């Protein structure tokens, strides 16, 4: 197989799925029902043609990883390593953030951008400056001056993907291009996402981001250690999101944001490990989750020091 022989096939499949989704939406509208809802034929086509990453054979996975590495070499002139590290049995990742310690420096934001090969106009983490005593996100400031923090009378609330146990984004995807992994991380297969953005509309945390243009990265800015479901270079026209740094966390390292935090506000770990720090926090601190009333069951908690 030549280096470029897989590209026409990939594009053809994406065009087919776009037409298929458009046709399903049109049929649903004609029937005064939601697109894809109750359409067994559309579901059957989606299952048949979108034999997604989860169900690929080992050989198909190896071919996909090699293709990703070749494309990165052609586009950026950089050798990358795209891994397929699976979820570790007995591990479910969770995050807790100590609001008492966060000072709003945004080191976590910048570390995430560098680690995950993000376009410099994309951020998985948003830090909001909030008036003390308020939990009303409408009163928060996303664009505060980082050189003036911490500001008296305020606290800082970082937000990112909550890795929900009941993720509405997954339910909204018409072709199952996003799903929840066994370790609890909600991922996206960027080869199957065709950018309908239904997941963005469904997410109550504004944690998904659409690539309007090809990511612009200088070769010396690219992190070469990537994961198929994580920080590999993403194409234009897909939705991306935080993935708890799978390229790091599945091999025993901490997420880049946690590692970069200068105040120790971030705690990450295995929720199934009774001796983990995050379990201690959940069992001994008063914790809360954003928009818990929606039933999304986020695995991202906030707490304060006593």
pLDDT in tens, 251-260: 999 999 999 9
pLDDT value at residue 42: 53
Whether 91 shows a pLDDT value over 90: the answer reads yes
Q: Decide which of 148 and 37 is more confident.
A: 148
Interval 204-229: pLDDT, tens:
999 999 999 887 788 999 999 999 99
Region 158-165: mean pLDDT is 97
| Token pair 């998904």 in the structure block, residue | 208
Q: What is the pLDDT of residue 38?
A: 42
Average pLDDT over residues 197-202: 98
The answer to whether the CB of 81 falls within 8 A of the CB of 224 is yes
Average pLDDT, the chain: 86
Q: Is the pLDDT of residue 10 over 80?
A: no
Task: State how far the Cα of 236 lies from the Cα of 14, in Å rounded to an integer.
Answer: 13
CA 26 to the chain's CA centroid: 29
At residue 203, the pLDDT reads: 98
Percent of the chain having pLDDT more than 70? 83
The CATH number of 85-306 is 3.30.70.20
User: Mind listing the pLDDT tens digit for each residue in 47-90?
Assistant: 454 456 777 788 888 999 999 999 999 988 999 999 999 999 99
Q: Across residues 177-199, what is the average pLDDT?
A: 96
What is the residue-wise DSSP string for 132-178?
TT---GGG-BTT--GGGPSPTTEEEEEE-----SS-HHHHH-TT--E
pLDDT band at 178 (very low <50, low <70, confident <90, very high): very high
- Kindly report the three-state secondary structure assignment for every residue of 77-92: CCCCEEECCCCCCCCC
Alpha carbons 93 and 104: distance in angstroms, whole number: 24
Listed residue (70, 72, 69) closest to 215, CA to CA: 72
pLDDT digit string, tens, across residues 224-263: 999 999 999 998 999 999 999 999 999 999 999 999 999 9
State yes or no: cis peptide before 214, omega within 30 of 0.
Answer: no
Closest by CA position to 196, among listed 12, 26, 47, 22? 22
Q: Is 261 helix (H, G, I), strand (E, B) or coil?
A: coil
Beta strands of 183-258 (E only): which ranges? 186-188, 208-210, 225-227, 239-241
Taking every pair of Cα atoms in the chain, the longest distance, rounded to a whole number of angstroms, is 62
Percent of the chain past pLDDT 90, that is, above it, reads 70
Q: Rounded distance, CA 173 to CA 281, Å?
A: 34
Give alpha helix (H) positions in the chain.
6-30, 40-49, 58-76, 107-115, 168-172, 198-202, 246-249, 256-260, 277-284
């Amino acid at each position: 197989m030549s280096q470029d022989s897989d590209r026409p096939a990939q594009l053809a499949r994406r065009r087919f799925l776009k037409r298929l989704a458009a046709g399903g939406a049109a049929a649903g509208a004609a029937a005064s029902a939601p697109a894809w809802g109750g359409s067994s034929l559309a579901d059957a086509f989606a299952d048949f043609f979108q034999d997604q990453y989860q169900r690929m054979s080992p050989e198909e996975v190896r071919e996909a990883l090699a293709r990703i590495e070749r494309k990165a070499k052609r586009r950026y002139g950089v050798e990358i390593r795209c891994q397929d590290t699976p979820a570790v049995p007995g591990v479910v990742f969770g995050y807790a953030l100590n609001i008492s310690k966060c000072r709003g420096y945004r080191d976590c934001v910048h570390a995430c951008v560098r680690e995950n090969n993000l376009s410099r106009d994309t951020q998985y983490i948003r830090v909001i400056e909030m008036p003390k005593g308020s939990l009303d996100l409408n009163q928060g400031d996303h664009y505060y001056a980082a050189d003036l923090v911490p500001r008296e009378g305020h606290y800082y609330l970082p937000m990112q993907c909550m890795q929900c146990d009941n993720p509405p984004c997954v339910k909204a995807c018409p072709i199952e291009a996003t799903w929840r992994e066994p370790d609890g991380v909600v991922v996206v297969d960027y080869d199957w996402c065709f950018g309908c953005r239904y997941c963005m509309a469904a997410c109550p945390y504004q944690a998904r981001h659409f690539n309007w243009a090809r990511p612009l990265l200088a070769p010396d800015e690219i992190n070469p250690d990537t994961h198929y479901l994580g920080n590999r270079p993403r194409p234009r026209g897909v939705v991306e999101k935080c993935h708890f740094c799978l390229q790091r966390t599945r091999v025993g390292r901490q997420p880049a944001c946690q590692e970069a935090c200068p105040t120790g506000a971030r705690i990450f770990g295995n929720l199934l490990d009774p001796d983990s720090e995050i379990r201690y926090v959940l069992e001994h601190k008063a914790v809360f989750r954003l928009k818990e009333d929606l039933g999304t069951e986020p695995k991202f908690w906030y707490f304060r020091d006593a």
